Chain A
Amino acid sequence: MVQKLEFSLGKQLGNPLFNFDDCKSYHLNKKNFHEIKPASPKRKIAFVDGGNQEIFHAPNFSIQVNRVYFSMFRNNERILPKSDIPTKIEFISMVSSEYDKDKKEVFYETSIFPSLNDYQEYLPLEKDLSFSSKERAVMLGMQRYDIERVSSIARRFAEWSFSRHVIQNEMEDDDMIVRDGSLQISFANEDKYSEEAFKAAQKENVYFTGLSKTSHLYTDTGLSLIGSIQEFAEECGIDHDLWCYYPIADRWAPTHKAVIMIAKFNSCSDRIFRFEILREQFQKMDEYAILNVLSSIADNSKDFCFPGYPYGLIDADLRARVRSEELDIYRTLILSEISKKPELLNKFNFHVRATDSHDILNNIAGD
């Protein structure tokens, strides 16, 4: 096994690999390392994250609890919203699928129920959450829309939509917003919401960025891109405390309008992360401006618990996460409503399973 490992990892680092025709990747090059200098920019940073968990489940439908959260920091001090936008929105979504035998396609439909009416304005429209499996842009890396994947659709759309409101209500010139994850979209109609968010950011001159804990990018020799760049940094003797690496690839895909970089945000940490900036903004920025944005993140990435990763995202993850303890509460609420209609309850009991708590635990462990 060790031999096997040696072989797999002993490969050439290779070059970034993108399986898209529209993509041109660059060779690894020492010149692409840039030092991030501590600058402590005074800008406001908003961090956005969302979470969802299934509470009921049947082969053809799924009921989810969703939560989207944001927080803002300046000089590493939390700042509270100045508008009346809530810091978190919660809603229940119900996704159902139906197979049309004649057309040989699956229709997906999602309904959403905000836990407070006030949240409605931050949520996507139900009509945008319905589509068929044959529809345009059956998105990347997703050959089929199984119900499990689709069930996160409402949360994803809500993240975009909520981000837009955050930008419009709370952010000013030169501020930035950091999303948990990449700026890539993967569902039909998702672009409608992402584009609105991007437009708002451009209008207010707020940097729209994303930071991914994990990255599914590889090199053409099959190694992980992040690991390769880390190794490459060592090979090249990069001794900057903090650095970032770009460009990695040039890609013009309507589903991914961002420039990818790899960055190390804290000298005390070995971890490096994938960071993205909205392409249209990136192109207008000089190197100083780019590194200045990165140093804003670095400044927020000093927490002992997860050095090198922004505290704002740790916080957002913690608050957005739907915990298994909460699920029972929602289940009970829903069941008590259903039980007012005995026939429905009967049917429900036949076809629907409360998502087993073992499932949930596994999901968490697998995170």
Chain B
Amino acid sequence: MDDKFQTIGQIIGGGSSRILIREKDGSKLELGGLLVIDDADDQTLILQINDLEYRSLIPQSMHELASGMNLEGLGTNLEFMEPQLRNYIVSRSKAILHLVDGIPRIPKTLPTYFNSVRHITEKDLKFLTKPKNPLYLGDVRSGSKILNLPIYIDASEAIPHHILIPATTGRGKSNLVKVMLWSLLDLDNFGILVLDPHDEYYGRNELCLKDHPNNKNLVYYSPDAPAGTNTLVINIKSILPDHLKEIINFSSAQNDAIYRYYNTFGNEWIIKIVEGVEIQDISFKTLQVLKRKFDNILGVYFDELGQFQSRNNIFSDTAGKTTIKDVINSLEDGKIVVIDTSRLLGDAEMLVGSIITETLFNRYQRYKLEGSLNEKPKIGVVIEEAPRVLGKEVIEAQGHNIYSTIAREGRKFNIGLIAITQLVSLIPRTILANINTKIILGNEMAQERAEIIGSASQDLSDDNRTIASLDKGEAIVSSIFTKFAVPIQIPLFEEYCSEHIKESEHQNSRSKREDKNIAFI
């Protein structure tokens, strides 16, 4: 028999929430591993291991004595006979899927007592098919074994319903986003805005999105733009008081002042403040504070010669008038727009994002009213450190911003977030509940795990240990669009994309050869 179908354990008890399986000696069951029970005809149960423990038919005191004798060099004449029979491992598993004729159901019955258990194979999961707009996440994983079975979610459903990527640092969040964006570059009908504070997605000096065979779908903005890409310059006049207010905490005096300047000078309001132009009723002190704030946040000031200056060259009083519009047009064309915000301070980065998303959101609201929304590409906004805009404290202090608005209402307008965070606990439950796909990577913080589990689309209450033990690139996809919380292995991006490039070159040369053949005939 195929080695894959070998019995690796047997049901020895438990109940619907925890099925106990005795491990066949040497089977090396793993936490998070997927097991299969072939029950009566065409009924298959898929289980996942939540916990493993030692059990023995020999009393514990006997083990302790034996180990003492071993350690102290006594009792060399003694051993445990048939140790594989008397000492063993029992796994606590949960039934996650019940397949009837290959069709997945929620498990409601227990498998036959004493039934034997085997490893999962690709065939068992053949109901996991490739959706129409495949967004690749990784391959199905059983414990640490990787199955030859790619997992896709349908981008057109998953993106407007938002995606959350929670993990502690270094567990592979950025890597996952690269893999996802790579896969999205193959799809034409998705506009993705990527605010990239680490300038890590375009691939200025290394293999990354720019090397995608379909890189015509990629648009890159950077203050230091390589040839053929776009310089990130934003006209200071495109910033409205509302944009700033969402991001920055102003006192009420400052708030008043801002609107007075805006009403007085229109879109030159920031320039006038930074220049120090005084207006009636606004105290000099408030003006000075605002000047300093704009310098701190946007890096804009007036020099001794009375010239407007931008410390990061991103905000200009003359150039960049079309930048926001261009970005939005690209998104509306179904492109991935990566904005290198590495030179911007956090608030300025969010501000740039807000201006774009807010404008876009307004446009999509209008499309909906006009009834043309469905002709437009669906939009995703990738934000790192999401609590900066989705955090409880931020929302409480400054009210809802465009990101939290998208989280709550974006779905209606086909705009979704792809939010990355190390700290889920900072995001309010109401927002988490609106995020319908979570790609959970490793997390060693118990409180964070509790929060992730509490907001997942499937019951992951038994997966605490499993989540804690996820290695780099290992993840669990919990989504209203998957039949169960699917454990996956995300490929290392560099390997995945080189593979993909090779494949597509191979295909190109083959189709060229085929062309030739045709020409020959």
A interface residues (Cβ-Cβ under 8 A, vs B): 76, 78, 241, 266-268, 300, 302-305, 307, 311, 315
Contact = CB atoms under 8 A, between A and B. Distances in A.
A241 B76 CA distance: 12
Interface string B125-153: 00000000000000000000000000000
A303 B87 CA distance: 13
B77 A311 contact: no
Contacts, number: 38
Contact of B77 (A78, A268, A300): A268
A78 B80 CA distance: 13
Interface stretch (B58-66, B248-256, B487-495, B512-520): B58-66
B77 A305 contact: no
B351 to A, nearest CB: 71
Given A304-B58, A304-B62, A305-B62, A311 B75 contact: no
A302 B82 contact: no
Contacts of A78: 82, 85
Contacts of A268: 74-75, 77-78
A311 B82 contact: yes
| Those 3 A-B pairs whose CB atoms lie nearest each other, nearest first | A311-B81, A304-B66, A303-B81
A310 to B, nearest CB: 10
Nearest to B66: A304
Contact of A266 (B62, B77, B85): B77
Nearest to B63: A304
B75 A76 contact: no
A267 B75 CA distance: 9
- Interface size, B (range): 10 to 19
Interface in B139-183: none
Interface hub of A267, A303, A307, A311 (most chain B Cβ within 10 A): A303
A267 B78 CA distance: 9
16 contacts: A76-B81, A241-B77, A266-B77, A268-B78, A300-B81, A302-B79, A302-B81, A303-B79, A303-B80, A304-B62, A304-B79, A304-B80, A305-B62, A307-B77, A311-B82, A315-B82
Contacts of A241: 77
A307 B65 CA distance: 13
A304 B77 contact: no
Contacts of A267: 77
Contacts of A302: 77-79, 81
Nearest to A265: B77
Contacts of B77: 241, 266-268, 302, 307
B482 to A, nearest CB: 43
Contacts of B58: 304-305
A304 B78 contact: yes
Interface in B48-62: 58-59, 62
A311 B80 CA distance: 9
A304 B66 CA distance: 7
B75 to A, nearest CB: 5
Nearest to A267: B77
- Most A-side CB within 10 Å, residue of B78, B80, B81, B85: B81
Counting chain B CB atoms within 10 Å of each CB, which of A76, A267, A304, A315 scores highest? A304
Nearest to B59: A305
Contacts of A311: 81-82
Contacts of A300: 81
Given A302-B79, A303-B79, A304-B78, 10 more contacts: A78-B85, A241-B77, A268-B74, A268-B75, A268-B78, A302-B81, A303-B81, A305-B80, A311-B82, A315-B82
Contacts of A307: 75, 77-78
Nearest to B82: A78
A241 B65 CA distance: 21
B81 A266 contact: no
A235 to B, nearest CB: 24
Contacts of B62: 304-305
Nearest to A303: B81
A304 B58 CA distance: 9
A145 B416 CA distance: 88
Nearest to B86: A305
A267 B82 CA distance: 21
Contacts of B82: 78, 311, 315
Contacts of B78: 266, 268, 302-304, 307
Interface in B77-127: 77-82, 85
B225 to A, nearest CB: 73
Contacts of A304: 58, 62, 65-66, 75, 78-80
B68 to A, nearest CB: 11
A302 B79 CA distance: 6
A307 B81 CA distance: 11
A281 to B, nearest CB: 27
A81 to B, nearest CB: 17
A241 B77 CA distance: 10
Nearest to B80: A304
Contacts of A303: 78-81
Contacts of A315: 82
A53 B334 CA distance: 80
B253 to A, nearest CB: 81
Chain A CB count within 10 A is highest, among B58, B74, B79, B85, for B79
Contacts of B59: 305
Nearest to B75: A268
A70 B137 CA distance: 56
Contacts of B81: 76, 300, 302-303, 311
A210 to B, nearest CB: 21
A303 to B, nearest CB: 5
Contacts of B85: 78
A311 B78 CA distance: 11
B24 to A, nearest CB: 15
A188 to B, nearest CB: 39
A192 B10 CA distance: 43
Nearest to B79: A302
A364 B75 CA distance: 31
A134 to B, nearest CB: 48
A241 B66 CA distance: 20
A266 B75 CA distance: 10
A58 to B, nearest CB: 35
A321 to B, nearest CB: 14
A305 B57 CA distance: 10
Contacts of B65: 304
A307 B74 CA distance: 13
Interface in B428-443: none
Nearest to A77: B82
Contacts of B74: 268
B309 to A, nearest CB: 82
Contacts of A266: 77-78
Most A-side CB within 10 Å, residue of B62, B75, B78: B78
A307 B80 CA distance: 10
Nearest to B76: A268
A324 B500 CA distance: 65
Q: Which of A78, A302, A315: most chain B Cβ within 10 A?
A: A302
A304 B77 CA distance: 9
Contacts of B66: 304
A145 B59 CA distance: 39
A315 B50 CA distance: 33
A76 B77 CA distance: 13
A303 B66 CA distance: 10
Contacts of B75: 268, 304, 307
A311 B58 CA distance: 13
Nearest to A76: B81
Nearest to B85: A78
A207 to B, nearest CB: 21
A293 B85 CA distance: 26
